[in-house]
Structure 1
């Protein structure tokens, strides 16, 4: 009884596999035969160019392997994820500046979580950026190169700022630990602003912030 229940399903799946190639090539069957253009003078050259274009289109339309598709899909998340470290580092820097200016130490307690989240999201954004851009090539322009390596440096600076923040929160921490944290946070904030501008220049042009 159990076997008889599965027989229709197996037959249906087998039918799909058998007929799928014909569906995939249905459009190719409707294309005009190339021999029709050979009777006209000068047609062979035109036919060759058309065949080359058709071959290139077919190659571009071919399904990519799953690992390649996954890498491209993950890389498309870079423009969205990159907003997290930008916002978190900037908010942390503003809070730290307000705490130092107004002598309100309680503001620095909230930046502990912000710095941690900013550092982790910076690592994720940098990794997705590498997936989006791929490995460096010989034809990569200066803007792409600077954006790539500055983003990688931001991930490292973010980890340094996080580590320095944790050290500065200890009771026995001295002025050196707090100074290191302030320097690391200032450096990563400036780097984030510059790299955000570079990212906008890559997508919208160098005049994207022109007033």
Structure 2
């Protein structure tokens, strides 16, 4: 996964410019919801990639510390026209947030949740909530499964995760974890952590928001 996203860095954002009105409207909705949700907040962004979503959130947030494991995507993110006083890009591990310094009252993880092995979901969420503390706001968005898009979904015996084969422009192929969730599954996963969970389940994307207990 780490090698895939490093090699894919220069192609990363093309997925957001597909000629599909439904997808484009979904992305606009996510942008607007995030900007309002994170207004005046100190945000810890997990797996920020090339900073595509960061550039929208920073317009309303107090500050964002955006982390990613890949130096290649972070290099592209740092080239964006984003004020340095609003965003700090750092190399970091989503499963080891203790090493990230700062006081945060919000967390963002867009298009990362589907790549988490299901056996590590609770590990990830518990340490994220511990890092942020009670009363913090969390927002996540990811893909809804569409059969004809993104290649064949691969299932393996005795493996609860699903996978997809991704081919880059240079012809290299990678098998990556890509898990999809129903609305009910999302409520079951995130519901225990909040009293105000909101789940939006659209045609192309889902997004959830809540305040930590």
TM-score, normalization: structure 2? 0.21
Q: Highest Rg: 1 or 2? A: 1
The structure with the greater share of residues assigned to helix is 1
- Choose between structure 1 and 2: higher strand proportion: 2
